[in-house]
Amino acid sequence: MESGVDRRVRVFSSLATLSSGAARHVAERARDAVAARGRFTWVLAGGHTPEGLYRKLAERYQTDFPWRESEVFFGDERCVPAGSPLSNYSMARDALLRHVPIPAGRVHRLRGEVRPPSEAAATYRRLLDRLALRGDGTGVRFDLVVLGIGPDGHTASLFPGSSALRERQRTVVALRRSGQPPWVPRLTLTLPAFASSREVLFLVAGEEKADVVARVLRARPPGNPNLPASRIRSAGSVRWFLNRSAASHLSKGLLSS
């Protein structure tokens, strides 16, 4: 364990086993959170990798998961019309949310269709502030944040060199430009929003991510400004679930953590 970052790495043989392992892990976290605090606050990731997790949860965890006590948020969103196939919300809705008994009022999407996007970011900030008042009063505190990583080291919509990485106060911001396709403006939660979480879980698959995963896991606190994923902190642990190819550039020392 490094000072300030409790990092744990698990390697799975394939994306399918990674998705099953992640589904088991999320279900355990959800049951534990509800037993301890009566609700499970969960931030979903966009991109393609978590789709397997969402589908596994929809298939295998209709029961044995506290859906009615779950509250769902999003780590980032592309500024596209509602229902666009590019929207992170649409992917999560189709793979998971429409198949499980989670109350509609507990799914909080970032409104990518709102113009200007800064309005949508301000609305989400107010929502997070309000919900924090219902919690323990110490600010936004998510039980679990799921994230992915791009080959350039971005995570959520925090891209290398972006001014969003310097945000210290606001929990959600809008970005005019994306650092990666799709080239549309973005809404993203910020480093301080993620840092107040109880746990962060990165899901990463594919050979094209092997190099960046090794660089992020080698980075020492406070992380490398050119590798946004290395700046992610949590009040608890930061876990990495990797498939074998994404883990292929890791040294033995990192794998045993």
Residue 250 makes CB contacts below 8 A (sequence gap 6+) with: 9, 210, 213, 214, 217, 242
Whether residue 146 contacts residue 45, with contact meaning beta carbons closer than 8 Å, is answered with yes
Which residue of 69, 71, 76, 167 would you call a contact of ligand 6PG, by CB under 6 A?
76
Pick the closer one to ligand 6PG by CB: 70 or 157. Answer: 157
Pick the closer one to ligand 6PG by CB: 46 or 65. Answer: 46
Residue numbers 78-137 binding ligand 6PG by CB under 6 A: 78, 88
Pick the closer one to ligand 6PG by CB: 8 or 48. Answer: 48
Distance CA 66, CA 126 (A): 26
Binding segment toward ligand 6PG, per CB under 6 A, in 10-18, 92-100, 120-128, 150-158: 150-158
Pick the closer one to ligand 6PG by CB: 47 or 117. Answer: 47
Distance CA 73, CA 131 (A): 11
Question: Does the footprint of ligand 6PG cover residue 231 (CB under 6 A)?
Answer: no
In degrees, rounded to 5, the angle at the alpha carbon of residue 165 between the alpha carbons of residues 170 and 4 is: 95
Binding mask 10-49 for ligand 6PG (x = CB under 6 A): -----------------------------------xxxxx
Pick the closer one to ligand 6PG by CB: 155 or 162. Answer: 155
Whether residue 135 contacts residue 141, with contact meaning beta carbons closer than 8 Å, is answered with yes
Residue 196 makes CB contacts below 8 A (sequence gap 6+) with: 138, 139, 140, 141, 142, 235
Q: Measured in Å, how far apart are the chain's first and last C-alpha atoms?
A: 8
Distance CA 203, CA 205 (A): 7
Pick the closer one to ligand 6PG by CB: 33 or 149. Answer: 149
Count the site residues for ligand 6PG by CB under 6 A.
15
Question: Does the footprint of ligand 6PG cover residue 156 (CB under 6 A)?
Answer: yes
Which residue of 52, 112, 117, 150 would you call a contact of ligand 6PG, by CB under 6 A?
150
Whether residue 76 contacts residue 42, with contact meaning beta carbons closer than 8 Å, is answered with no
Distance CA 182, CA 23 (A): 27
Which residue of 148, 179, 185, 223 would you call a contact of ligand 6PG, by CB under 6 A?
148
- Inter-residue long-range contacts of 222-225, CB under 8 Å, 24+ positions, other chains counted: 222/4, 224/153, 225/160, 225/161, 225/165
Q: Least distance to ligand 6PG from the beta carbon of 99, Å?
A: 20
Taking CB positions, which residue lies at the least distance from ligand 6PG? 47
Which residue of 87, 155, 162, 230 would you call a contact of ligand 6PG, by CB under 6 A?
155
For ligand 6PG, the binding residues (CB under 6 A) are 45-49, 76, 78, 88, 148-150, 154-157
